[in-house]
Amino acid sequence: MLFTGRELRSMIHDNGTLSLSLQKVNIGVPADDEIVVRIEGSPLNPSDIGLLLGPADLSASAKADGDSPGLKFQILSSRRAAVVGRVGQSLIVGNEGAGTVVAAGREWSKLEGKLVGMIGGGMYADYRRIKGKDVIELPVGATAVDGASMFVNPLTALGFVETARSQGHKAIVHTAAASNLGQMLQKICLADDIPLVNIVRSLEQVEVLRGIGATHVLNSKDDSFSDALTAAIAETGATIAFDAIGGGTLGSAIVQAMEGAAVQRMKDYNRYGSTVFKQLYIYGALDTAPTTLNRLAFGFEWSVSGWLLFPFLQKAGLDVGQRLRRRVVDELTTTFASRYTRTIGLAEALDPDVLRAYERKATGEKFLIDPTRDAART
């Protein structure tokens, strides 16, 4: 059987435009070690949106040439240099997803008709051909929606805890902490008995985290935020932070609070600051502004670094990766449950209003693409 379906593509052109389109593609016949999955759920994670929309100026869009649904945007000129490497390439999008196996090569016939979750790109499509060994069969009772986000957020949250532990930190600070990822991290930390200091930006988000048992939840908009942060860090002993925001001064304020808490415990003045090592990892870019570090308040024992899931998994090794994946499957509908505020079809993802809505990346808002919603309409 031959499957034909739509695939969402993003392309940056020589003339400084970015175009989104739905391409009709022939999925091909699965090889012996392959399967074909009908995608029934794929999340719009910030990293997906980054690839999908690049540095496009979303304030004005135009209908792309041709018959199929499509849009084009201007690229912000200040950011063109950063994407010169992808000019002229029609890129598939969608890191992860879940769905039903509709065809299988000889080695994987046992998967036929089963629900599986997978990672590997190109999930914003009706069908995805993929190696059988690269998918995970969903546990009994789990739906495609349950399995759609079983890799990026769960493994990132677990990766934070692994990173903290392997580097000898005993408590963690997390920003944008009411996100799906942040809620997973809070649940893991509760189960594993690791103190977590959550930083959010609204009272509503404070409530979300309190509702799942969080002890330390700070609203960065409160006047007393800075003092409360130092107090929470002093109480928990947190010396590592994971920051989804990246731009501005919040990361710096966290390191400064860690140093402040450490200096409070010192008996003698040391012009170089404390001997406590403080690590800030930036793993997101909810704020694309530059990062500003008031490092004179850090002492000299500090580090600010990028953190990304795939390099982490590579360094952690196969055994760790397998242990983490097993935990995700075991706790798929509890610790690692994701919540979506809206489900859209593939064609809907190219509606300018819908697109601008998911691009805002508001905490608490999360979109899921389910291509079967509009498949009939193509």
Interacting residues toward its own copies by CB under 8 A = 47, 50-51, 82, 85-86, 89, 91, 246, 252, 263, 266, 269-272, 275, 282-283, 285, 288, 290-308, 310-311
Report the nearest approach of its own copies to the CB of residue 274 (Å).
Answer: 10
Report the nearest approach of its own copies to the CB of residue 197 (Å).
Answer: 22
d(CA 239, CA 323): 25
Of 307 and 340, nearer to its own copies (C-beta) is 307
Q: Count of residues for the chain?
A: 378
Of 283 and 336, nearer to its own copies (C-beta) is 283
Of 269 and 360, nearer to its own copies (C-beta) is 269
Query: SS3 of 66, please?
Result: coil
Of 236 and 252, nearer to its own copies (C-beta) is 252
Of 249 and 378, nearer to its own copies (C-beta) is 249
**167 touches 156 (CB < 8 A):** no
Report the nearest approach of its own copies to the CB of residue 270 (Å).
Answer: 8
46-53 vs 352-359: helix axis angle to the nearest 10?
A: 130
Report the nearest approach of its own copies to the CB of residue 174 (Å).
Answer: 18
Q: How far apart, in Å, do the first and last CA atoms of the chain sit?
A: 20
Of 81 and 140, nearer to its own copies (C-beta) is 81
Report the nearest approach of its own copies to the CB of residue 77 (Å).
Answer: 15
Query: Hey, what are 296's tokens?
Result: 């004179």
Query: SS3 of 365, please?
Result: coil
d(CA 137, CA 251): 38
The residue whose two tokens read 């860690």 is: 258
Of 214 and 245, nearer to its own copies (C-beta) is 245
Report the nearest approach of its own copies to the CB of residue 255 (Å).
Answer: 10
Of 224 and 275, nearer to its own copies (C-beta) is 275
**363 touches 200 (CB < 8 A):** yes
Query: SS3 of 48, please?
Result: helix
Backbone angles phi, psi at 160, to 5 degrees: -60, -45
**303 touches 241 (CB < 8 A):** no
Of 310 and 342, nearer to its own copies (C-beta) is 310
**124 touches 42 (CB < 8 A):** yes
Report the nearest approach of its own copies to the CB of residue 294 (Å).
Answer: 5
Report the nearest approach of its own copies to the CB of residue 371 (Å).
Answer: 22
**Residue-by-residue DSSP string for 181-249:** HHHHHHHHHHHHT--EEEEESSHHHHHHHHHTT-SEEEETTSTTHHHHHHHHHHHHT--EEEES-EEES
Report the nearest approach of its own copies to the CB of residue 155 (Å).
Answer: 15
d(CA 44, CA 20): 15
Residue 343 host element (H or E): strand 342-344
